Amino acid sequence: MSDQALVNQPPRRRFAAIGPIFRRIVREPLGAFGLILVVIVVFSALFADVIASYPPTKLSPAERFAPASFQHLLGTDHLGRDLFSRVLHGGRIALAIALGATGLSLAGGILLGLIAGYGPRWLDNLLLLLFDAIKSFPTVMLALALVTLTGPSLLAVLAVVVLVNVPGYARIIRTQTLVLKSAEHVMAARSMGAGTARILAVHILPNVIGPILILASMDIPVVVAIEAGLSFLGLGVRPPLPSWGAILNDGFVNIRDSYWIVVAGGVPIILTTLGFTFLGETLRDVFDPRLKRRQ
């Protein structure tokens, strides 16, 4: 049956143009919803300076704890800073960290995964042991330990996120590489005399990179959550800088009388993580439905 269906198919490129993929994402209600949220978040982060009417760190002691109003769309915090503008600027930091950390962990994960999967057995075992060891630290505990030494900083957050994410990607790449290493098309390339670099670049990497990119896109909300969480604990962004986690912390301290601060800090986190997750899920279903099982 399926064989037959393939036989008479006209030649078609595996990755069609962006257009049809976009249409398929939008056709799914969740995908469309996710896409809209992501566009809003990215847009407001990019143009934070233009949209916001106040600088995010400007103090105005006269307006402390002001509820939402036309002057201050989301109200003000305990120092009288405009929460709307802090939220917009906080989005910049959240996205920058998310993209940067995900990109770095991807690069590291792919490299180590290929080495572990295609390299000698002892190196594979050693790397696996390292991955397992890193994975055995609870993320936040590791972050707490690191920050105790370095003091709170964005760099520390970045380092923790990359450190805990690399093993996950590397393991997936390694498993796939191991499977492909003995696959017939790779054996065929070896039998033709292809070198290691060629085999990795032409015959293995293109076949493992798709799924990992989709998985990474689904990790963006996780990184947003880690950054916000660490900033909430006061371990990430340093005080004057706006961060959603820091806003949440400001609000948490005053939760009994100024509820709008936690709302201002938390809602963007929820919208961002939901948006990226819904979009990522839809992307995965469109590109590679088999991946669903690996979750």
CB of 116 to other proteins, least distance (A): 15
Say whether residue 231 binds other proteins (CB under 8 A): no
Query: Residue 40 or 183: which CB sits closer to other proteins?
Result: 183
Contacts of 56 (CB under 8 A, 6+ apart): 48, 81, 82, 85, 86, 88, 89, 90, 242
Say whether residue 111 binds other proteins (CB under 8 A): no
In order of 183, 217, 258, 292, the CA distances from 283 in angstroms are 27, 9, 39, 11
Residue selected from 88, 232, 242, 247 as contacting other proteins according to rule CB under 8 A = 232
Say whether residue 98 binds other proteins (CB under 8 A): no
Residue selected from 202, 238, 240, 253 as contacting other proteins according to rule CB under 8 A = 202
Burial 52-69, CB ≥16 within 10 A → b, else e: bebebeeeeeebeebeee
In order of 51, 166, 269, the CA distances from 228 in angstroms are 22, 20, 8
The residue with tokens 């936040």 is: 140
**Which range, of 43-51, 93-101, 171-179, 277-285, touches other proteins by CB under 8 A?**
277-285
H helices within 136-204, ranges in order? 139-150, 154-181, 184-191, 196-198
Query: Residue 26 or 129: which CB sits closer to other proteins?
Result: 129
**Which range, of 62-70, 82-90, 91-99, 225-233, touches other proteins by CB under 8 A?**
225-233
Residue 53, both tokens: 């009417």
d(CA 129, CA 19): 43
Binding mask 114-153 for other proteins (x = CB under 8 A): ---------------xx-xxxxxxxxxxx-xxxxxxx---
CB of 200 to other proteins, least distance (A): 12
Say whether residue 99 binds other proteins (CB under 8 A): no
Residue selected from 105, 258, 278, 286 as contacting other proteins according to rule CB under 8 A = 278
